[in-house]
Structure 1
Amino acid sequence: MNIITDTEALAAFCEECAKHPYVTVDTEFLRERTYWPQLCLVQLAHPVDGDLSSNDGAAIVDPLAEGIDLAPLMALMQAPNTVKVFHAARQDIEIFWKLSGQIPAPFFDTQVAAMVCGYGDQVGYETLVRKIASAKLDKSSRFTDWARRPLTDKQLDYAIADVTHLRRIYETLDKRLKKSGRAAWVLEEMRALTSEDTYRNDPEEAWRRVKTRSSDGRFLAVVKALAKWREARAQEKDIPRSRLMKDDALLEVASNRPKDMDELGRSRLLLREARKGDAAEGILAAVAEGEAGPEVAPEKRAGGGPAKPGAGALTDLLKVLLKARADEIGVAQKLLASSDDLTRIANEDAPDVPAMSGWRRAAFGELAMQLKTGRIALSANSNGIEIVEFEDEEEEA
């Protein structure tokens, strides 16, 4: 097994990878004790003649090795003629973006491609290895300590398998997409993954992740200020936000709105470390900011008004149509439309939802609107669910 621990070897291997049309990539990292993921391993494999599941053309890069410079790896991630192939790429992409300030390009996500090719919702790598590469993975090393050295042979075998089998998976899915004409669908789906906004955690927006049913504008203003303080401090200290203050404690503080250390110390849920020092001062300052600033209007979910008469039954019919259509064209249901999409299609005259734009509209959205307006119906028979089209009355006349 090729294990790279110095810059010269890394540069040579990355130069070889850049000669090929694609390179498969995976990472092992830890983030239980940090805000930002701690990169522990990078696995790479370029195409080879013969057995794509072998370790030929593959390497494991140790970013924790003393003196190693990852610049050649970052250059490879930007090589314009080599597609970087990941599975479930979001966290891997975040790591490279954080280290280099750039998103790997061009890149391809086999999980997205597998959903487009009908392998189900958010299909796992192990499933694709079994179905496409006809192999079985030993996942027992998945949650081991990747920062500890030396790594065991079992860990290394597990890590390298995440890129060797990925070559066959990529080539198989790529051929299927080209044959079906759906390659553009995958590119459209990966648009969010290619946006830097996906990987920026803006403290000003952190409050939106805190689940609360309250619509009190002053309470929400305090929640927003506390969440902003927590996110900024977690990023600065590189610690998980829950190590500072869990959501239930944040909501408790927002409800009680302590004005001094004594009142803050009465919290039942706040961690001990947050009741003293500059952390406590930051929390009190955030509470004061939330109380002094403008109230925050509760977010209204689009289409969240009262349901139209019959909308519930129509939503159920749309679910049947969704499953029938997904089965017919071989695409994961979740990719075509979400449950929120269906609810809004049933309730709104012009729903602005993903199912009504891009390739989804042609694949499902138009049929959904036709069902809603009575231009098609659903029929059950021995072959399952069929779509019945009604002739236009003007044409019939």
Structure 2
Amino acid sequence: MRLSNGFEYIDSNAALAALCERAATLPMLALDTEFVREDTYFPKPALLQLNAGGDIYLIDPLKIDQFAAFQALLADPGIAKVMHSCSEDMEVFNKLMGDYPANLFDTQIAAALCGHGFSLGYQKLVAQLLDEHLEKTETRSKWLQRPLTDRQCHYAVDDVRWLPHLYDILQQQLHELSRKEWCSEECDRVLAQARQGIADEDQYLRLRAASRLSPEARGRLRALCAWREKLAREHNVPKGRIVSDATLLDIVERIPTSLRELGSAAKIRQSSVRRFGDSLLACLASTDCQPLPGELPGVAERGDKSRRELVRKMQAQTRDVAEAIGLPVEILGKKRDLEQFIEAREQSPIANGWRAPLLADKLDALCKC
């Protein structure tokens, strides 16, 4: 299977509007983005790739400032938007347009539901289903430079060239397996999570070590993670540029009360102490640092042997069901999902949607034993 390497470069508002008018008549569009995030909190959009009916367009967001027509195109529920592993791309669309695509089809999700493997990369999926082998050389390229090199353009084109073919194959496989609704549910979850985001007060849950902390230290960590998130957003710098995760974990145990004590925290930049130290200490001393008693959401009590044994039995049951229907166990139910099923059943994805009839009753039976 060989396709032309040609593409059209869109670098004006008028050209983008004309493209969107043509593309609006199609039933499916394939999309990807390139962005840079090395020194910022928000992604810097560098390129948008669009495959519209086999014609490929590279859209330059550095030259375009009117995206209303493109936003309307992406918001059209009658047009399928095909992407691969698109959670980070959602941030780019939100940055440019304050909105997200409707009728999303993520080929990584679809591939997992068809039994091709969990979290399969685009290159591997293309090789597996289409026997085409793509280069990976431009993944860390300087996408904000202009003009783009021929190699960059070739790489960007390939990122959407094969998506329609993957879409056709995976749609057929989903149909044969009666899993098209499963895929729609999972893609809708991606969009819902993108819209909702993670509250500043819940950022601490992303640190695995939070579960090992005392209630007092955990309360301090929650406050400091929220403080860091707000500051990073305000200054548009990476969170780690303010204070790293490792440093925060050290601080909540040491509880420094002066800049000098703060300066001795693990791996802390002295520039961060000078710039943000007073604010950090004020947060640490504030009433925001209330203890967080009890278990973290989705984290089993480490000392509870019966609880650990229950989770192990639930994992074994989940593996058995996944193997029986040819699914990667990770998409059916991760350990965190199982623990959430114990603690807040109705909030767990296992108790909702397509997973529920496969697994919920079996896990309920284990919980009642």
The 3 A distance-change label for structure 1 pair 58 and 202 is same
Cα offset, 1:136, TM superposition: 1.2
Question: Is 2:254 aligned against 1:247?
Answer: no
In structure 2, how many angstroms separate the alpha carbons of the residues matched to 1:78 and 1:323? 34
In structure 2, how many angstroms separate the alpha carbons of the residues matched to 1:9 and 1:137? 29
AA matched with 1:44: L
User: What is the aligned counterpart of 2:67 among 70, 73, 78?
Assistant: 70
In structure 1, how many angstroms separate the alpha carbons of the residues matched to 2:366 and 2:283? 50
Scaled by the length of structure 2, the TM-score of the pair is: 0.86
Provide the residue aligned with 1:187 in structure 2. 184
Contact 1:220–1:298, Cα closer than 8 Å, also in 2? no
User: What is the aligned counterpart of 1:224 among 222, 225, 241?
Assistant: 222
Provide the residue aligned with 2:306 in structure 1. 307
Question: Is 2:358 aligned against 1:359?
Answer: no
In structure 1, how many angstroms separate the alpha carbons of the residues matched to 2:179 and 2:312? 32
Cα offset, 1:126, TM superposition: 1.0
In structure 1, how many angstroms separate the alpha carbons of the residues matched to 2:308 and 2:229? 43
Cα offset, 1:214, TM superposition: 4.3
In structure 2, how many angstroms separate the alpha carbons of the residues matched to 1:167 and 1:87? 11
Cα offset, 1:317, TM superposition: 4.8
AA matched with 1:354: P
Cα offset, 1:253, TM superposition: 2.0
Secondary structure in 1 aligned to 2:30? strand
In structure 2, how many angstroms separate the alpha carbons of the residues matched to 1:7 and 1:202? 35
AA matched with 1:237: H
User: What is the aligned counterpart of 1:172 among 169, 176, 182?
Assistant: 169
- Structure 2 unaligned segments of length 5 or more: list them: 1-6
In structure 2, how many angstroms separate the alpha carbons of the residues matched to 1:47 and 1:344? 43
- Structure 1 unaligned segments of length 5 or more: list them: 49-56, 375-397
In structure 2, how many angstroms separate the alpha carbons of the residues matched to 1:367 and 1:267? 48
Contact 2:314–2:338, Cα closer than 8 Å, also in 1? yes
- Count of equivalent residues: 358
The 3 A distance-change label for structure 1 pair 137 and 343 is same
Cα offset, 1:61, TM superposition: 0.4
Secondary structure in 1 aligned to 2:162? helix
Secondary structure in 2 aligned to 1:69? coil
Secondary structure in 2 aligned to 1:43? strand
Which of 1 and 2 has greater Rg?
Answer: 1
Cα offset, 1:283, TM superposition: 0.8
In structure 1, how many angstroms separate the alpha carbons of the residues matched to 2:270 and 2:21? 51
- Which moved further from structure 2: 144-153 or 215-224? 215-224
The 3 A distance-change label for structure 1 pair 293 and 255 is closer
Question: Is 2:274 aligned against 1:276?
Answer: yes
Per-residue deviation, residues 369-393 of structure 1 (Å, max 9, x unmatched)? 789999xxxxxxxxxxxxxxxxxxx
More helix by share: 2
Contact 2:337–2:350, Cα closer than 8 Å, also in 1? yes
Contact 1:219–1:254, Cα closer than 8 Å, also in 2? yes
- Which moved further from structure 2: 118-127 or 257-266? 257-266
Provide the residue aligned with 1:393 in structure 2. none
Secondary structure in 2 aligned to 1:144? coil
The 3 A distance-change label for structure 1 pair 256 and 367 is closer
Secondary structure in 1 aligned to 2:136? coil
Cα offset, 1:40, TM superposition: 0.3
In structure 2, how many angstroms separate the alpha carbons of the residues matched to 1:60 and 1:184? 32
Secondary structure in 2 aligned to 1:192? helix
- Which moved further from structure 2: 333-342 or 133-142? 333-342
The 3 A distance-change label for structure 1 pair 160 and 196 is same
In structure 2, how many angstroms separate the alpha carbons of the residues matched to 1:12 and 1:244? 43
Percent identity of paired positions between Structure 1 and Structure 2? 30
User: What is the aligned counterpart of 2:105 among 108, 111, 115?
Assistant: 108
RMSD value, Cα: 2.9
In structure 2, how many angstroms separate the alpha carbons of the residues matched to 1:343 and 1:200? 21
In structure 2, how many angstroms separate the alpha carbons of the residues matched to 1:309 and 1:93? 36
Secondary structure in 2 aligned to 1:77? helix
